[in-house]
Amino acid sequence: MAQDGRYIPEPIKRQIRQRCGFGCVICGLPLYEYEHMREWSIAKEHDPDEMTILCPTHHAEKTRGLLPVEDVLAANRRPRNLRFGLSEAFPLRYSGDSCLVNLGSNRIVHDFSRDAIVPALTIRGCPVIRIKREDGRLLLSLRIFDRQGRLLLDINENELLFSIDSWDVELVGKRLTIRKGLRVILAQVDFYAPSAIVINRGNFSYDGFEVQVAPDHIFLEKYNIRMEKTSALMNGGGGFYFD
């Protein structure tokens, strides 16, 4: 039976993402659309082996006949991200005079009228989440690891990269989710341009010290401390510092 072309079941989407390295098979960007390599009018079904993911630009080129189907088929056989082991850098768009960082239910607010750099989260002297204001732009840097110390997400001054070694990586709307299995989330971050970021889940570590973020708390395993609804960094000063 033919399926509704307006709806692709989630398990099929995930299978396509996993095979394509969680990004456009041509350029690797994590902002993408699901595409039938042969047109839907011909395929009439959502066969994951006959589908791929393309960024909006390459999708539009294919739709307009500017990108040959043969080129898409070739890229689908050797997706860009699988060849490089990392996603293509995705630019974040942050700007303004203040910023908001949520770590679970814990809140950090900073007014850049006093300080041009805010170390939102510092572990043993290392700023693992930092926001810098430069020429009207806010430059976000952060790194999230799994419990084995493998880097999952790396943002360096608004350039977002992620490892393709995860079981699943998905950018939907403002939310980036990294999973290690079905319904098992390793990291989840919401990007609210121009000046806020909400980290719902993630593991931040440096020099053997870990800070685990969950939707409603921060947990410091070394001290068995759970932090909820704490505010820091109002109009200058320092963010959360753990040692």
For the chain, domain boundaries = 10-84, 90-242
pLDDT at residue 4 tops 60: no
| Distance from C-alpha of 37 to C-alpha of 51, rounded to nearest angstrom | 5
Neighbouring C-beta atoms of residue 106, cutoff 10 Å = 21
Structure confidence at residue 184 as a pLDDT band (50, 70, 90): very high
In this prediction, residue 113 carries a pLDDT of: 80
Length of the chain counted residue by residue: 243
- Mean pLDDT over 69-98 rounds to 96
pLDDT digits (tens, 9 = 90+) for 141-156: 999 998 888 899 999 9
pLDDT at residue 45 tops 60: yes
pLDDT at residue 217 tops 50: yes
Using the 8-state DSSP alphabet, how is residue 117 labeled? Answer: E
Tokens of residue 76, six digits: 């689908």
What is the maximum span of the chain, computed from C-alpha positions, in angstroms?
63
Structure confidence at residue 17 as a pLDDT band (50, 70, 90): very high
In this prediction, residue 233 carries a pLDDT of: 55
Q: Which residue has the higher pLDDT, 78 or 2?
A: 78
Q: Which residue has the higher pLDDT, 222 or 115?
A: 222
In this prediction, residue 237 carries a pLDDT of: 53
Containing 56, the helix (H) or strand (E) segment is helix 56-63
Neighbouring C-beta atoms of residue 91, cutoff 10 Å = 10
| Distance from C-alpha of 173 to C-alpha of 194, rounded to nearest angstrom | 15
In this prediction, residue 2 carries a pLDDT of: 43
